[in-house]
Structure 1
């Protein structure tokens, strides 16, 4: 909600707060009588501009050009400071598999084809350079949130029934190691 000034719920909630802060019994019950004046001015001080930024969290497999297009839209059309979440798949199957194995997570199953449609490191570096330049041009902030989840194979039968055959997105203990490697790779910008 970038501008709540015309939203009926915003007005309703601000009015409800105003009525509550005018209620002497409420103020007394909470020991707020001495702060009455500053509290009663609070509803008018609540800004109608509620959002100044957004974090884009795309699903695994989202086409790279769509990720960039959405970020561009948020920066250019909405004027929002923008963060984009990037997944550990940008390191590629071989590197992720190696990191998991070295860190003692060899039992975590991965599908190589799950990496095929995700953003690649070279694509990410190029995209981030363009988006950082655009954000600077628009006097906005742009950043990256790294390695939230990793698509894995449910090879331990931990999920019941039909879900046993599904791939699962997990936040494995190995994510910090993947995060560190992604950070290192992206810090070249």
Structure 2
């Protein structure tokens, strides 16, 4: 695996190094020891989730309050998606900035999304499946939802037709409203 640091402090894009032959290919998707060394602290999977979506489904923008906080290791296991992670940590030099990454099952690219970030994606194919390896288990009532179409963020989802979006995500507050509620994590080096 190769780790690529993004302009968002602590956020990584991880690309595999496939071994291919006439049968197909093989690659490591996650090695927790290597990831922990790269981020400078332990990453211990506490929960693994999968989400399956039809083409042009927009999910997000989601984060988790601290405590418990929640780092994510995200990869596409079927289909293709446009992933956006946003630094929502107050005081971060990259606050409000985002990284867009196309993830495909065939490519195997993964993302490490630190605590305090927002995350969402647009599915580009039918039956797209995304895997979330979570650093903490889900705690009901701690999720932060931000409207993925918030004009302040102006995220480049890249859809041609208005996407399928849940009523919860469509009615989610703006980043300014979430910030005013005091729900965002403070940035620390």
TM-score band w.r.t. shorter chain: under 0.3
| Bigger relative contact order, structure 1 or 2 (CA pairs below 8 A, ≥6 apart) | 2
Which has a greater percent of helix?
1
The structure that is strand-richer by fraction is 2
Q: TM-score, normalised by structure 2?
A: 0.23
TM-score, structure 1 length as denominator?
Answer: 0.23
Q: Which has the larger radius of gyration?
A: 1
